[in-house]
Structures are given as structure tokens and as C-alpha cells.
Amino acid sequence: MQLGANLPLWDIGGDPSVVRDFSQAAEDMGFDYLGAADHVIGVNEASRPDWGARNTSADLFHDPFVLFGYLSACTKDIGFSTQVLILAQRQAALVAKQAACLDVLSGGRFRLGIGVGWNPEEFVALNENFGDRGRRSEEQVQFMQALWAESHVSFDGKWHKINDAGINPLPGGGNIPLWFGGHVDETLRRTAKLGDGWIMLAHPPGDRAKAEFDKLSAYTVAEGRNPAEIGLEVWVSVGADGPDEWRGEFEFWRDVGVSHITVNNTYDRGDHHTRIAGRSLADHITGIEIYRKAIEDLL
């Protein structure tokens, strides 16, 4: 199993020294990867009184390619994962190029997590269609995988076309690990067909989560692929309970086949995931440290 830590930028801020110090601390503790969330546009909550507890312009998000490019020079071995990049807001060829460059410059430490997004305001600002984002993102993945695999590509899809051209550099091995985030049935089907893993946030440890993993496994077999080759990621936090409960949760996820556990101490889902009270850099370094110490012998 791999253990990761999400960068809590909306708590600790985005200054170069702060993100560097958190990342180097995680690497020194032995974490396998860092995760970063993605939003390009934030709305003004003052003009939307019914917006609710969702991301706004007050929340800081560094562009993940720029962020990880910087952090790849500040670290040696720790990996990087988008959690998740909203692919359908972006040009697929440009994402393929950015991901390939990051893969090369980081020495193959990058994993691309993608999702379809939920905020139509971002799609308006980026001049992309919110209504077809799911179907379009599936073709985007196929297009990017083709661009990563060959120096010159011919592709004639509904939304993407290229005539005997390609990107340079190519990623090592001709591919970048691509994981899907989201919880509708179609996300599971796309993961089974095209993905290397699924990032699952919706369900606590228990029968519902196991049933979703079993469904993904069945879809993967139907695609002629081996379910053992599909990774599973969940998020945990130290915002509630204590080491005994964290260990029990970890053991459940391990036993049902989860391959990646990410400590995200800012995420608050209410029923099974509670953020920590502190918001400082020291609070967040302590938060990931006590979790790792609690479960270290289970890794």
C-alpha cells in the first residue's frame, strides 16, 4: 500500500516556502506521494447567497502542473497526484503535453487523477461545454493516451482530431498513470475501460464501499482486464477518533484491496470524514505525522 498526503493549501497558503516545507516534511516522514486539488475559477460568494459549502474565490488552488513542477525540484523521491484535475475544462492535447513534461522533469513521479467537475461557472469562464463534459472527457482520455504512446498520431474523434502529429517529450514508458475520481456508475465504467485506478471519497468503511469495489471489479473483467491491475484510493483524516480507530479503518481498507490511502486533514464530509481544527503549517505537519506513526507497522 502507498500512503499519501494532500497539500492543504486553503489552510496553510500557497507561499513557496510553505508548500516546500510541507512537502519536504512529508517526504522525510516516508510518505509516498503528495496530492493536490484543482479549480481554475472561484466564484464570488457574496453575489450567490445560496451557494452553500462549496469552493469559492476565497479558496486557494495552485495550478497543479506548476505546483508539482516546482515541488519536483524541491524533493527527491516523493510522487505527485492530482486529486482531481477537471479534464473537460481543458484542451486535451495541452493536458497531455503538460503531463508528459511533468513526468519527464520529475523523473516519472506523476499520477494524473481526473474528474468531470461540478461547477458550471468554471466551464463558462473557460469556454467549455458543461453539458457534455462526461462523454467528452472519455474521448479526451483516449486522445491523450494515444499522444503519450506514439511520436505521431492520427485521431479522428467526435471532439478531437489530429493528423500525423504529436507531442515531444513523450512520457517514460509511453504512458502516465491515469486515475478517475467520481461516484456515478459511468465513472466506474470509464475506470474499468481506460483507467489505472479509482479515487473513492463517497463511502465510509463498510458494505457500501465494498459493493462499489466489487462492481468496479466486475466491470473490469467485462472489459477483458485484470481487476488486480486497477488501483483503489481512499482518503482519511485525524480530525476525529484516535489511533485505534485509524488503525481499524486502515485495516479495513487494506483487506478490501485499497492500494493508496491519502491523509487529507482539510476534507470534511460529515458522516465519515472530519477535518482537523488547526489550520497552520505546524498543525498540518503534526496531523500527517501522527497518522503515519499510528499505522506505520501496517504498511
E-strand stretches of 93-147: 110-115
Q: Which residues contact 66 (CB under 8 A, 6 or more apart)?
A: none
Antiparallel, parallel or unpaired: β 33-36 and 85-86: unpaired
Helix axes 64-74, 16-29, angle to 10 degrees: 60
Q: Which sequence spans correspond to the domains of the chain?
A: 2-298
pLDDT at residue 285, rounded to an integer: 98
Cα distance between residue 172 and residue 174, in whole Å: 5
**Under CATH, which architecture does the 2-298 domain have?**
Alpha-Beta Barrel (3.20)
One digit per residue, the tens of pLDDT, for the chain of length 299 reads 999 999 999 999 999 999 999 999 999 999 999 999 999 999 999 999 999 888 999 999 999 999 999 999 999 999 999 999 999 999 999 999 999 999 999 999 999 999 999 999 999 999 999 999 999 999 999 999 999 999 999 999 999 999 999 999 999 999 999 999 999 999 999 999 999 999 999 999 999 999 999 999 999 999 999 999 999 999 999 999 999 999 999 999 999 999 999 999 999 877 789 999 999 999 999 999 999 999 999 99
User: Which residue, among 119, 128, 124, 121, has the nearest Cα to 92 in the 3D structure?
Assistant: 128
pLDDT at residue 140, rounded to an integer: 98
Q: What is the DSSP string of 116-131?
A: --S-HHHHHHTT--ST
Environment class of 215 (CB within 10 Å of its CB; exposed 0-12, middle 13-18, buried 19+): middle
Residue 14, amino acid: G
Residue 85, amino acid: L
